[in-house]
Structures are given as structure tokens and as C-alpha cells.
Amino acid sequence: MKFVRAIWKLLVGIKDGLVLIFMLLFFGVIYAGLSARPAPVGSGVLALDLKGGLVEQPARRQWSEVAGGSRLQEYRLRDLVAALDAAKDDKRVKAVALDLDSFTGGGQTAIGDLADAVRRVRAAGKPVVAYSTGYTNDGYQLASAASEIWLNPLGAVAVTGPGGSNLYFKGLLDKLGVTANVYRVGTYKAAVEPLIRSDMSPAAKENALALGTAELDSWKQSVKQARPKANVDAFLQDMNGAIAAAGGDIAKAALAAGLVDRIGDQQAFEARLAQLGGESRGEPGGYSRIKLASYVADKVQNASTGPIGVVTIAGNIIDGKAGPGTAGGDTIANEIATGVHQKGIKALVVRVDSPGGSVLASERIRQALLDAKANKVPVVVSMGSVAASGGYWVATPADYIYAEPSTITGSIGVFGVLPSFQGTLQKLGIGADGVKTTPLAGEPNLLKGPSPEANQLLQTGVNAMYARFLGLVAQSRHKTTGDVDKIAQGRVWDGGTAHQLGLIDAFGGMSEAIAKAAQLAGLGDERGVRYLEPPLSFRDQLIEALATEQRDDDGAAPQDAFAAFAGNPQLQLSSALAEVRSILSGPSIQARCLECPPVAQPRLEARDLGLLELLREWLS
């Protein structure tokens, strides 16, 4: 018995010790989270060290990022714009630094909005200095707005314009025995082509070339306006010739073309910033830095009580609830309803940056906007970089639609995909058989393939959804369904062409949309807004607080010029596979634009890595 009691005491002691350790860790984490605050804002250079991409709405951070994991940073566009607008009148800010060494870009419209904010800082008489080892399309568009552009001596301005290759999976699906049963409407609805073709269709190429040409023209117009002396056209058309003329020195070729102002390494760049904003007291050779996170926390107010509600529809539109960065139909509809019925908003601005997704979720959001209008709340839509397919569906209730010439919109079309595995079973020597009590019993049969009756029913459903989409657009834009059908068919348009076609009302961004909403609601000069977003939970606040100190120091590592030029092939492949998986596992009927560029930072997840490894082994 003494032995048993001794063992029992030992176990109780271990248990008490573990509980004590757990409590110490728990309260330590809480203390660290609650006591973590951005560093005080001093004076000097506001440092925009952008180590990631620009988005309308960042996804919530996860515990893995606090515990040592990492992901590309996501910077909220409105926070950066507000910080720059505050900096232009803030005597503490002597200059602004754009360190774009690890900048992964954003949509062309978002880059343009941020570049406009940079120009306002310059107009206030404050220098803005940009630096990178490798400037690509988005990075250079932003840097062109700066008063000085620096390039590393080993760097390059590797601007190439829109274009590139997509992955097509029909050959792989054939090897696996998987059949992609596709139901679609629209000559240009190329979203499903990667599943049923091994190359791009002529119609899709026509659309993609027209869109890419318009996007390139918009990009060149933005850059030429910022740097009229730069020889942009010649450099784009014959970069190798420009480099040869500079004796093979890539950096000097960019300097000779007027694309950059100074060639210098990071140390020289920081010495220049020290001249502008003062030297750092605690860091020899450094400059007096104002950290971005600290400045945003100090100057940017997101929790207003104004009469204009702003709801953001960012990322893929999905059924049910979702956190920021993904447009959950129920989540957004509930926020709209809460703003209208409980918070007493008098006008609503809907910021859309989405390629679409679920038809059901898009309709859920549309109905919430119709309810707002029924309660005498005017609705104004502001389109970001992408507002296509389901992203246009949710815009149809608007009293007024703003977009930019670089906005990608349209893609008015519907498709459905159901995978079936009759070929896979045959390869494995597995049979599938059964009985049917009606023509549609057991359908759609994903083991033997959908029957003709099931195929007819599903295509009829897609046709009906497309007809409804045409009707919504026709009613919204005061056109006939026949007129809309001519510009629909799943075709993707740039904002300039969309304006000519009557799909949008005017060019403008958020400031114009807020002003229009105030006008429609009769608010006079009142411009106060409140952002209709779910509040941060205690868990989210704790993670955010713990991760705050890492924001300015963590993120993507700087790349050499050729790494920036080449991109991340593994991430690109993973992103493509994730899109295919999303289509195959998503809603049966979708209003989604896969031809559109992504509106969120791609992430390489464990399951994607596993799939890549599985494919490598299977194909070797």
C-alpha cells in the first residue's frame, strides 16, 4: 500500500506541476499579448518596408505565425493610403521610404490607388524614395510615383507587361481516369478550360489578349504620367538591346532609359534616408525610422461611427460564414443587415475585389443589399482590382458603380463542374453497378458518370442561372437581356471598355464612392464612415498583438533580380492546383472568373506540398 500511495503522490505531483506550468504559460501569453504595443512614433522617415502584397482585406493571422511560422505579409490598402495621407501633413515625418525588395505586388487598381497617395505626399513637399533589387510590373508601377528610384547595382528593372501561361490538366485527369463533367454558358467562359483542354481555346486567347493589351496600356499611362522622360516603350520592346547598349550592365541600362534615378546598394540607400530624416541613435549608419505598424496604430482610425457604412467583399465568394479575406455570403449579409437595422447607417458603400464564386452566396449578398435599399439606404459600389462574375453579380443592386480603367470586371457567365471516376475505377479493376427506380435515381452518378438525363438537368440549371444573371444585369443597367448577352458570354473586360459598354457608371475610387453615397443620402458634407466587419475575437486580438512586433522584421526574404523576375514556380504550381481543387470541390454551379488575377496572396499549404510530392512520385 505504501508503494501505491507513493505512486499516487507522484502522479498528483506531476499533475499539479503540469497545471502550474500550463497556467504560467497561459497567463504569460496573455500578459505578453496585452502588454505588446507598437513602438512609440518618433520623427524621421516613415518606412514602408513592404514584405508581402497589397490586399483589400487581409486574412486573420494564425497561431503558427506567432510560434515561428511565417507567411507573406498582407497589407490593407486603406491603411497604407490613410498612413500616407496622414504623413503628408505630419511634421514628424520628414520623408517616406518604399523598400520594395520583398514586395509581391497587388492588383493594378490597388497599386494605382497607393501610387496616388504617394504622389500626394510628394505634392506636400516631402521626398519619397524607393529601393529594390528587382522591380517587376507592380513594384515598378508603385515606385514610379516616388521622387527618387534607387536600384541595386546587381539589380534589374524586369518589367514585362501582362501575360504568361496557365496550367491545363486534361492530360493528367485522363491518366488518372477522372472525367470533368462540365456545364457552362458563354463562349468566353474559360474558367473550366484547364479541366477539359490541354491548351487555351481561340476564344479565350482573344479575350486574354484584349484584356492584357488594355491592362498594359493602363500601366504604361500610369508610369509615363509619373516619369514622362523614361523611355518605357523602347525598354519594354527590346530590353536585351537596351542592356547591350549599356555594355551588358542591366542596372545601367535601366538608368540610361530613365527608369531609375540612382544605382546604389542597401547601405547607400539608408545613408540617403539618414540625410533626409536624420541618423538613428541606436544603430550606427542607420536612419531614424518610423515603423509602419506603429504609425498605422497611431494615425489610422478604422472604428468610426459615421453614417456611411462600408462593407468589403474581398476574395472568393463562398457559402456560409468566413473570416476576412474570403467573402462568406452569410457573414457579409449579416454585417449589412446589422448596419442597416441596428447601427442606423444612412448610406452604404460596397467595396468589391473579388473574382466571384458561389452563385448562392452571391445572391445572398445581393438580397441583403436589396433589403438595405428597401430601407431607404442608397448603395454605391466601388470596384477594386477585380470585380468579375459573382463579383459583378453582387454589384447589380447598386444605385451607382465606380471602377478604374484598370479594373477587371464583367465575366457575366455561369458554369458547373462535377468530377466522375468511371475511368479511375476501370484502371483499378473496380466495377460499379446498381438499379434505378426512376431515370434520375442515384444521379448524378459519380462512379459511372452522370446519365444523359442528369446531364440535361444540370445544363438546364446552368442555363437558368445564366438567364437570371442576364436579367439582373439588364434590370440594373437599363438594357435588354439581348443587349447584355452580346457583352456577356463570360467575357472579361477592362474598366475602360466596361465604361463604354455601360457596365459601370463612372471612373473613381473609394473617395468618389463615399462622396456619391453622401449625395444620394442627402448627407451634405458629412463623409464619416464605419467599416462593417466582424469584431476581432479575444483570440484574434491576442494573436495580432503577439505578432505586431514581427510585422516590420519578418516576411519574405529579399530576392536577387532574377529570382524576382522568375517568381516562385512552386508557389505558382501550388496555386494552380489549389484553384482546380477549389473548382472540383466547390459549389456545383459557380459564377467565378478564373481568368482574372488572384486578389489574395497565394499560400503554400501542407496539403498542397503533399499533392505536389504525390504528383512528382506518380509521374517519375
Does 347 lie in the same domain as 265? no
Distance, in Å, from the CA atom of 422 to the CA atom of 428, rounded to the nearest integer, reads: 10
Pair (292, 317) in one structural domain: no
User: Residue 212 is placed in which grid cell?
Assistant: 492584357
Q: What are 209's three cell numbers?
A: 489578349
Residue 200 falls within a domain, yes or no? no
Q: What is the band of 524 on the pLDDT scale with cuts at 50, 70, 90?
A: confident
Is 343 one of the catalytic residues?
no
Whether residue 322 sits in one domain with residue 262? no
Q: Which of 347, 350, 351, 349 is nearest to 307 (CA)?
A: 347
Residue 13 — very low, low, confident or very high, per pLDDT cuts 50/70/90? low
What per-residue confidence (pLDDT) applies to 162?
A: 85
pLDDT of residue 184: 86
> How deeply is 202 buried, as exposed, middle or buried, from its count of CB atoms within 10 A (0-12, 13-18, 19+)?
exposed
141 and 58, same domain (yes or no): yes
In a shared domain, residues 266 and 328: no
Task: Assess if residue 573 is contained within a domain.
Answer: no
Domain carrying residue 318: 308-433+442-534
Grid cell digits, residue 214: 488594355
* pLDDT tens profile 317-357: 999 998 888 999 999 999 999 999 988 899 999 999 999 99
Residue 194, pLDDT above cutoff 80: yes
In a domain, 553, yes or no: no
Whether 222 is catalytic: no
Per-residue model confidence as pLDDT tens digits over 102-112: 898 898 999 99
The last residue of one of the domains, among 534, 556, 575, is 534
Residue ending a domain, among 534, 558, 574, is 534
> 286 and 137, same structural domain?
yes
pLDDT of residue 204: 86
3-state DSSP percent of the chain in helix, strand and coil, to 5: 45, 20, 35
Q: What element of type H or E holds 169?
A: none
Choose among 571, 593, 495: nearest CA to 211. Answer: 495
Q: For residue 268, what pLDDT is reported?
A: 94
Does residue 563 lie within any of the structural domains? no
Q: Is residue 103 part of a domain?
A: yes
- 225-229, 399-403, 471-475 — which is least confidently predicted? 225-229
| pLDDT range class, residue 415, cuts 50, 70, 90 | confident
**Do residues 347 and 284 share a domain?**
no
pLDDT at 145: 96
Beta bridge partners of 220: none
The reply to whether 64 falls in a domain is yes
Contact 557, 102 (CB under 8 A): yes
Q: Which has more pLDDT, 398 or 29?
A: 398
The span from the CA of 258 to the CA of 214, in Å, is: 24
On the question of pLDDT at 15 being above 70, the answer is no
CATH number, domain of 50, equals: 3.90.226.10
| Mean pLDDT, all residues of the chain | 84
Q: Which of 279, 300, 321 is the last residue of a domain?
A: 300
Relative orientation angle of helices 77-87 and 292-299, to the nearest 10 degrees:
80
Chain mean position to CA 579: 14
β pairing state of 400-403 and 506-507: parallel
CA trace torsion 70, 71, 77, 78 (10° rounding)? -40
Given strand 179-185, what is the order of strands in its sheet?
179-185, 414-420, 589-592, 356-358, 317-318, 327-328
What is the number of structural domains in the chain? 2
β-partners of residue 180 are 419
> Does residue 202 have a cis peptide bond before it, meaning omega lies within 30 degrees of 0?
no
Give a yes or no: residue 255 inside a domain. Answer: yes
Active-site residue among 189, 252, 291, 479?
A: 189
Provide mean pLDDT across the span 58-81.
Answer: 74
How far is the C-alpha of 22 from the C-alpha of 35, rounded, in Å?
20
Cβ atoms of 188 and 589 within 8 Å: the answer is: no
- Catalytic residue, chosen from 389, 411, 420, 574, is 389
Give the integer Cα–Cα distance in Å for 612 and 591.
28
What is the rounded average pLDDT of the residues 239-243? Answer: 92
Nearest to 97 by CA among 350, 297, 291: 291
| CA dihedral angle for residue 272, residue 275, residue 278, residue 281, rounded to 10 degrees | 60
Q: Are residues 293 and 381 both part of a single domain? A: no
pLDDT of residue 28: 52
